[in-house]
């Protein structure tokens, strides 16, 4: 394709081709400091291409395609090219990842041990991971956590943090301006601004961690936490995984081992400051 | 009329992990994970002794569990139908 | 990588990948995924010295293919359990048949829906038994339903409500609207039983079916994969004199002698297959080759005009023109 950008995020290499220069320039700026795919060979190809040939110039609209494509995905405007690239990479992971059990979860690490947070969108897992990543934890990813069946280790997938609506201002006060991408208004998911994880998250993205605690945060409730039984965690994590079934027995082993070894808590919180305090306390209590 | 006789998928084709309240059964032949509650694991265990109809399964269960045979039969029969759709048991 | 000919070469001559650089590997992987041949490629390249990053992708593809194979065989088993009491021949077709019969054509192959062939006069019984065992109609639209029943070679597709997997029940291997009408009774008559009681087509019929599938099903999209099936089947039976000699006669009996000859020329040209009959080069052969290889190293379809020409032709072939007009009209209005 006319323009392209190669990048490695955690253990996964991507090749992103684009019919337009702009999305590729934006990617190169925001992914500054990331390595290329291992050996130059990408695991997945993403294509940002005109929905119809003439749409390259006339009211340009980006169709997100690649090795794996959703047939009825709505195209995005050229101004949202960065979002299109991110969605394209996520799509490849969701539909094509087979080496790791893919958990729709955010993750941070401390002392070689990982905290996993998962829940419905709006639950705050992404913002909490981003904040913890600026406050002494190593940020491993805000969207996908990769569980390796053979070892039970969690691999990082620290792509750009995708901040939405209220979380944007919150992180703007935490991190340097040069780590932020353009503010994308009125996307299908509301306002979005991408943020590059900090240098430590990028430098250590090849280092896996042993899962030590699983939290199911829920925003907008009185502060409370309750233990979750292994079977409830199992069922919820299969729902939070796009490739559990495709991994077959390896996926079964990985997930059933995880839920038996790692404690889990459902956590309700009224605001992020409270949530951060609860995370630290639960970690001290349970992750030992 | 005697009910259908069932046989279980061979135990080697299944992986069974008991969690807190529910059990996981991974069915190797289909690649499907079944999350099941009592008395499903017990039914499958009872069928390890060989194929059987509902009455015989309940008799085997009664040997190790406390149950009222008359009440248990319709429950077990309903679970067997579900297990048949899931492919974990088949009519012999 | 300007077209998929290097993918075809990698499949039939795995050593050829030794020349690839990193870009070449990425392109080969993207093209193979787009042509649904990544699993096949992964099996063909197994054991060769290839770069680690590529080897990881291929190992994943083999694991995926194993998952497809297991799911496909389980769907076949579910159909066997549902249809067993009917005492009627149930013949597995395409990918599931290759996997169930342990044929090389099944190694790494992507397998989608379960396709089965049953005698036409048992269709109603089969439909009823499947509905009882948990399958449901996919399309509630009465026009589609009537269209399928009247003009297609299969029941409207059914999906299993628990497993979310489709089954296509055929009573012949081409729609009655097609100008070619294979001998369905002979297909069933000569089918071969597997250990579990399910059946597969006889080897010559399996190859004939792969030929009709290549040309009749759509616009040659997925054609490279379908042609690869033919290559593998030919190699599987090349030393079986009975099959080899029966092949051309069988193709004639099904009324597909021309298509068979063309498929033989194409598979020899693209995959160097051993073929039982040599025929004169067809005027359109180069177009077919260009169409089959119309895929670039980004996984994009190329040669739009040529694709369109084949698409138009495929619809022409499948339905007489007046019926086609009516069909397109109804589709357009929805």
Residue spans of the domains in chain B: they are 11-91
State the smallest CA–CA distance between residue B62 and chain C in angstroms.
30
- Residue A162 belongs to what H/E stretch? strand A161-164
What pLDDT is recorded for position C156? 84
CA-wise closest residue to B47 among B14, B1, B85, B17 = B14
Distance from the Cα of B16 to chain A's closest Cα (Å) equals: 10
| Closest-approach residue (CA) in chain C for B92 | C81
Chain A residues lying within 8 Å of C51, measured CB to CB: 39, 41
Would you say residue A125 has pLDDT above 60? yes
Tokens coding A254: 């990985």
Of C126-130, C161-165, C324-328, where does the model show the most confidence? C126-130
Residues A83, A85, A89, A94: what is their CA dihedral angle, to the nearest 10 degrees?
50
Q: What is the mean pLDDT of residues A265-285?
A: 95
Q: Is A244 helix (H, G, I), strand (E, B) or coil?
A: coil
Chain A residues within an 8 Å CB radius of B22: 231, 234-235
Residue C151 is predicted with a pLDDT of 64
C48 touches C78 (CB < 8 A) = no
- Closest residue, chain C, to A53 (C-alpha): C304
Q: Touching B: which chains, 3+ CB pairs < 8 A? A: A, C
Whether residue C3 contacts residue C302, with contact meaning beta carbons closer than 8 Å, is answered with yes
Q: Out of B28, B32, B35, name the one closest to residue A231 (CB).
A: B35
Structure token pair of residue B89: 């048991």
Is residue C150 within 8 Å of C171, Cβ to Cβ?
Answer: no
Using a CB–CB cutoff of 8 Å, tell me whether B15 touches chain A: yes
Positive or negative CA dihedral for A37, A198, A112, A130? negative
Cα C122–Cα C127–Cα C131 angle in degrees, nearest 5: 150
Out of A72-81, A85-94, C36-45, which region has the weakest mean confidence (pLDDT)? A72-81
Q: What are phi and psi of C17, to 5 degrees?
A: -75, -15
Give C136's contacts (C-beta < 8 A, 6+ positions apart).
Answer: C158, C159, C160, C161
Q: Which residues, including other chains, have CB under 8 Å from residue C168's CB and lie 6 or more apart?
A: C113, C114, C115, C116, C154, C155, C157
Q: Tell me if B85 and C133 make a contact (CB, 8 A cut-off).
A: yes
Using pLDDT thresholds of 50, 70 and 90, give the confidence band for residue B85. Answer: confident
* From A33-47, A242-256, C143-157, C257-271, the region with the lowest mean pLDDT: C143-157
- Indicate whether C165 pLDDT > 80: yes
- The model's confidence at residue C148, banded by pLDDT at 50, 70 and 90, is low
Q: What percent of chain A has pLDDT over 90?
A: 86
Nearest to A246 among C22, C59, C64 (CB): C64
Q: What is the mean pLDDT of residues A82-93?
A: 96
Banded model confidence at residue A71, pLDDT cuts 50, 70, 90: confident
Q: Which of A38, A49, A250 is nearest residue C53 as measured by Cβ atoms?
A: A38
pLDDT tens digits, A217-272: 999 999 999 999 999 999 999 999 999 999 999 999 999 999 999 999 999 999 99
**CATH code for position C39:** 3.30.460.40
Q: What is the pLDDT of residue C153?
A: 67
What percentage of chain C exceeds 90 in pLDDT?
72
Q: 3-class SS at C218?
A: coil
Task: Indicate which of C74, C99, C164 best probes the interface with B, i.e. most B CBs within 10 Å of its own CB.
Answer: C74
Write the residue in C33, C56, C70 that is nearest to A67 by C-beta. Answer: C33
Angle in degrees, CA C113, C117, C120, rounded to 5: 135
Q: Which residues of C touch B (CB under 8 A)?
A: 67, 70-71, 73-74, 77-78, 81, 133-134, 162-163
Q: Is B20 on the interface with A (CB under 8 A)?
A: yes
pLDDT of residue C143: 61
- Contact (Cβ atoms closer than 8 angstroms) between residue C117 and residue C304: no
Band of pLDDT at residue A51, cut at 50, 70 and 90: confident
Nearest to B87 among C67, C70, C78 (CB): C78
CB of A240 closer than 8 Å to CB of A216: no
pLDDT of residue C176: 62
All structural domains of chain A, each given as residue ranges with its CATH number in brackets, are 3-96 (no CATH), 101-160+197-286 (3.90.228.20)
Residue A282, pLDDT score: 97
Percent of chain C with pLDDT over 70: 87
Report phi then psi at A124, rounded to 5.
100, 10
Mean pLDDT of chain C: 89
Contact A188, A74 (CB under 8 A): yes
Residues of A in contact with C70 (CB under 8 A): 248
For residues C189 and C81, the answer to whether their CB atoms sit within 8 Å is no
The residues with which A184 forms a beta bridge, in sequence order, are A192
Task: For B37-82, write each residue's pLDDT tens digit.
Answer: 999 999 999 999 999 999 999 999 999 888 888 889 999 999 999 9
Which of B19, B22, B26 shows the shortest C-beta gap to A252?
B26
**Set of chain B residues whose Cβ sits within 8 Å of the Cβ of A249:** 15, 26, 28, 31
Residue C281 is part of which domain span? Answer: 5-333
* Among A265-279, C150-164, C263-277, C293-307, the least confident range: C150-164
Task: Write the residue in A245, A248, A256 that is nearest to B24 by C-beta.
Answer: A256
Q: Give the mean model confidence (pLDDT) for residues A21-42.
A: 96
The total number of structural domains that make up chain C: 1
Q: How far apart are the first and last CA of chain A?
A: 50
pLDDT at position C152 is: 66
Does residue A259 sit at the B interface (CB-CB below 8 Å)? Answer: yes
Chains that touch A (3 or more CB pairs under 8 A): B, C
In this predicted structure, the answer to whether residue C333 has a pLDDT above a threshold of 90 is: no
What residues in B contact A226, CB-CB < 8 Å?
Answer: none
Residue C328 pLDDT greater than 70, yes or no: no
Q: C324 pLDDT exceeds 60? A: no
The B-side interface with C (CB below 8 A) comprises 29-32, 85-87, 90
Dig out the tokens for A109 from the structure: 């690490």
Best of C17, C22, C108 to disrupt the A interface (most A CBs within 10 Å) is: C22
pLDDT at C216 over 80: no
Put simply, the answer to whether A42 touches C26 (Cβ < 8 Å) is yes
Q: Does A283 have pLDDT greater than 90?
A: yes
**What pLDDT sits at residue C332?**
53
ipTM confidence: 0.94
pLDDT, position A36: 97
Going by pLDDT thresholds of 50, 70 and 90, the confidence category of residue C178 is low
| Angle, in degrees to the nearest 10, between helices A272-286 and A125-134 | 70
Q: Do C26 and A40 touch (CB under 8 A)?
A: yes
Residue C76 has pLDDT above 60, yes or no: yes
Residue B21 Cα, gap to closest chain C Cα (Å): 23
Touching subunits of C (3+ CB pairs, under 8 Å) are A, B
Q: How many CB pairs under 8 A join A and C?
A: 65
Query: Which pLDDT score, from 0 to 100, does residue C96 have?
Result: 98
Identify all chain A residues contacting B19, using CB atoms and an 8 Å cutoff.
229-231, 234, 256, 259-260
What is the per-residue pLDDT across A133-186, written as a single tens digit (0 to 9) for each?
999 999 999 999 999 999 999 999 999 999 998 899 999 999 999 999 999 998
Q: Per the CB < 8 Å rule, is C33 touching A39?
A: no
User: What is the residue whose two structure tokens read 């599931």?
Assistant: C96
What pLDDT does A145 receive? 97
Mean pLDDT of A66-81: 90
Flag whether residue A257 sits within 8 Å of chain B, measured between CB atoms: no
Does A84 have pLDDT greater than 90?
yes
């Amino acid at each position: 394709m006319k323009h392209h950008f190669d990048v490695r995020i955690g253990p996964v290499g991507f090749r992103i081709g684009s019919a337009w220069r702009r999305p590729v320039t934006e990617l190169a700026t925001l992914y500054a400091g990331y390595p290329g795919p291992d050996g130059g060979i990408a695991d997945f190809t993403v294509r940002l291409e005109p929905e119809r040939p003439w749409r390259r110039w006339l009211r340009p609209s980006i169709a997100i395609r690649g090795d794996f494509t959703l047939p009825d995905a709505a195209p995005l405007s050229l101004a949202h090219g960065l979002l299109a690239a991110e969605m394209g990479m996520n799509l490849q992971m969701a539909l094509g990842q087979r080496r790791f059990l893919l958990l729709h979860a955010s993750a941070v690490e401390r002392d070689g041990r990982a905290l996993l947070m998962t829940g419905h969108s709006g639950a705050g897992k992404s913002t909490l991971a981003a904040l913890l990543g600026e406050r002494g934890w190593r940020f491993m990813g805000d969207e996908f956590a990769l569980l390796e069946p053979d070892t039970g280790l969690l691999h990082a997938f620290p792509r750009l943090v995708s901040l939405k609506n209220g979380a944007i201002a919150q992180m703007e006060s935490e991190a340097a301006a040069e780590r932020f991408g353009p503010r994308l208004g009125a996307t299908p998911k509301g306002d979005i601004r991408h943020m590059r994880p900090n240098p430590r998250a990028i430098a250590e993205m090849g280092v896996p961690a042993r899962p030590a605690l699983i939290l199911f945060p829920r925003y907008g409730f009185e502060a409370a936490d309750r233990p979750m039984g292994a079977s409830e965690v199992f069922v919820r994590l299969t729902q939070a995984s796009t490739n559990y079934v495709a991994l077959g027995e390896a996926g079964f082993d990985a997930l059933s081992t995880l839920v038996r070894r790692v404690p889990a808590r459902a956590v309700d919180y009224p605001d992020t400051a409270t949530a951060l305090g609860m995370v630290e306390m639960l970690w001290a209590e349970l992750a030992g | 009329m005697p009910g259908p006789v069932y046989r279980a998928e061979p135990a080697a084709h299944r992986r069974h992990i008991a969690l807190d309240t529910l059990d996981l059964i991974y069915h190797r032949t289909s690649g499907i994970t079944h999350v099941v509650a009592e008395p499903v694991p017990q039914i499958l265990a009872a069928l390890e002794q060989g194929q059987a109809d509902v009455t015989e399964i309940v008799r085997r269960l009664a040997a190790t569990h406390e149950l009222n045979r008359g009440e248990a039969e319709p429950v077990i029969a309903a679970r067997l139908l579900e297990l048949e759709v899931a492919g974990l048991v088949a009519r012999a | 990588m300007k077209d998929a000919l290097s993918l075809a070469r990698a499949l039939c001559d795995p050593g050829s990948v030794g020349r690839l650089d990193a870009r070449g590997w990425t392109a080969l992987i993207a093209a193979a995924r787009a042509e649904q041949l990544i699993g096949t490629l992964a099996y063909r390249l197994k054991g060769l010295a290839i770069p680690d990053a590529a080897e990881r992708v291929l190992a994943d593809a083999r694991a995926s293919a194993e998952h497809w194979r297991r799911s496909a065989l389980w769907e076949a088993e579910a159909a066997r359990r549902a249809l067993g009491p009917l005492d009627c021949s149930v013949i597995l077709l395409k990918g599931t048949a290759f996997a169930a019969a342990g044929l090389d054509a099944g190694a790494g192959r992507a397998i989608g829906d379960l396709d089965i062939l049953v005698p036409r006069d048992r269709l109603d019984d089969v439909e009823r038994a499947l509905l009882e065992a948990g399958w449901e109609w996919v399309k509630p639209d009465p026009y589609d339903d009537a269209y399928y029943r009247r003009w297609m070679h299969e029941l409207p597709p059914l999906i299993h409500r628990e497993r979310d997997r489709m089954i296509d029940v055929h009573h012949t291997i081409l729609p009655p609207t097609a100008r070619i009408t294979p001998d369905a009774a002979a297909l069933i008559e000569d089918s071969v039983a597997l250990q579990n009681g399910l059946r597969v087509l006889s080897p010559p019929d399996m190859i004939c079916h792969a030929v009709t599938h290549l040309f009749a099903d759509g616009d040659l999209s997925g054609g490279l994969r379908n042609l690869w099936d033919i290559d593998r089947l030919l190699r599987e039976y090349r030393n079986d004199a009975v099959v080899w000699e029966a092949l051309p006669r069988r193709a004639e009996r099904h009324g597909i002698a021309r298509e068979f000859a063309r498929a033989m020329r194409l598979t020899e040209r693209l995959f160097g297959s051993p073929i039982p009959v040599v025929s004169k080069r067809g005027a359109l052969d180069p177009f077919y080759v260009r169409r089959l290889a119309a895929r670039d190293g980004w996984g994009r379809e190329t040669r739009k005009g040529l694709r369109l020409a084949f698409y138009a032709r495929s619809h022409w072939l499948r339905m007489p023109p007046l019926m086609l007009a009516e069909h397109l009209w109804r589709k357009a209005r929805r």
